[in-house]
Amino acid sequence: MTRSRVLTIDDDPKAGVEIVAELKNYGFSVDWVGDGREALARAIGGGYDAITLERMLPGIDGMSILAAMRTVGVQTPVLMLNVPGDVDERMRGLRALGDDYLTRPYNPEELMARLKELIRRSQEPGIGATARAKSLLRAGPLALDLAARRVTRNGAEIPLLPTECRVLEFMMRHVGQTVTRMMLFEAVWSYHFDPGTNLIEVHMSKLRRKIDVPGEESVLKTVRGAGYVLAL
C-alpha cells in the first residue's frame, strides 16, 4: 500500500524533527523543509498528498507560500500550524485558501487525524482539493479554465490579463461573499499589508468593464466600506 506523502514546512529544526518523527510513526512518508523559498519550490512542484505549514518562515512567509500555491493552481491540502489563537488570525489563514489549522501545543494524534481527514476529503470525488483542482471553475454565467487561464461568459471568451484572471479566480472561489481589500492583496499580490494605493480599484474597474454585459446590472459589486462581492 502506497504511503501518503506529506511536506512539513517549519523553520524550527526541533519542531521539524518532531513532526517528521510523529508522522512517520503513523505511516506517512515525510519531507521536511525549513526555508521559505525552498518550501515554495517543493510545494509548487507537487507530488504531496498534504502539507503542514508554519506561518513564520525565513525567505518567504507561510501565508505568501499558500497564496502563491493557490494562485498557480496547486490545490494540495494545507494544514496550518502555530496560527495564533485569535479568531481573526485563524480566519486570515483560511481565507488565503488554507484547508485547516492547528494551534500549538498540539496532540500528535490530532495532527495525524487532521491530516488523514484532509487527504481523505481531497481524494473523495466531488469534495475537497481534488474537486477544486479540476480544470474548470464555474460561477453563474462565468467559466474559468484554470489550466489555459481562459475566461468565458455564456460561452463567449473574455480576454483577461494574468493579474485580472487571478483576481477573478479569487472572486469566483468566494462567490456571494464580501471580499476585502486585504484578502485580495494577500491572495493575488502576496502583500500582508495595505500599500495604500488604488491598485485594487484599478483592477476591479478594468475587470468589471470586461466581464459585465452592456445594459445589464454589474455582477461585480462594490460593498461600500467593506470590499467587493461577485453577485450572480
> Residue 98 is part of a domain; what is its CATH number?
3.40.50.2300
* Burial environment of residue 214 by CB neighbours within 10 A (0 to 12, 13 to 18, 19 or more): exposed
Instruction: Say how many Å lie between the first and final Cα of the chain, rounded.
Output: 45
Per-residue pLDDT for the chain (232 aa), expressed as one digit of tens each? Answer: 568 899 999 988 888 888 899 999 988 999 999 888 888 888 888 788 999 988 778 878 788 888 788 777 777 888 888 655 544 554 455 444 557 777 777 788 888 888 888 888 777 654 444 444 446 788 888 888 877 788 999 888 999 888 888 899 889 888 888 999 988 888 888 777 777 778 899 999 999 999 998 888 889 999 998 899 998 7
Whether 226 contacts 180, CB under 8 Å: yes
Strand-pair partners of 157: 152
Number of domains in the chain: 2
Same domain, 139 and 123: no
Give the Cα-Cα-Cα angle 53, 57, 58 (nearest 5 degrees): 150
> How many Å apart are CA 93 and CA 170, to the nearest integer?
15
Coil, strand or helix: which one is 175?
Answer: coil
Same domain, 96 and 186: no
Q: Name the domain boundary from 131, 158, 192.
A: 131
Whether 104 contacts 82, CB under 8 Å: yes
Three cell numbers written together for 220: 461585480
Q: Name the domain boundary from 96, 131, 166.
A: 131
Same domain, 193 and 208: yes
pTM above 0.85, yes or no: no
Give the Cα-Cα-Cα angle 182, 103, 71 (nearest 5 degrees): 35
Coil, strand or helix: which one is 113?
Answer: helix
Q: Name the domain boundary from 131, 146, 163.
A: 131
Of 12, 46, 29, 11, nearest in space to 20 by CA: 29
Residue indicated by cell numbers 508522522: 23
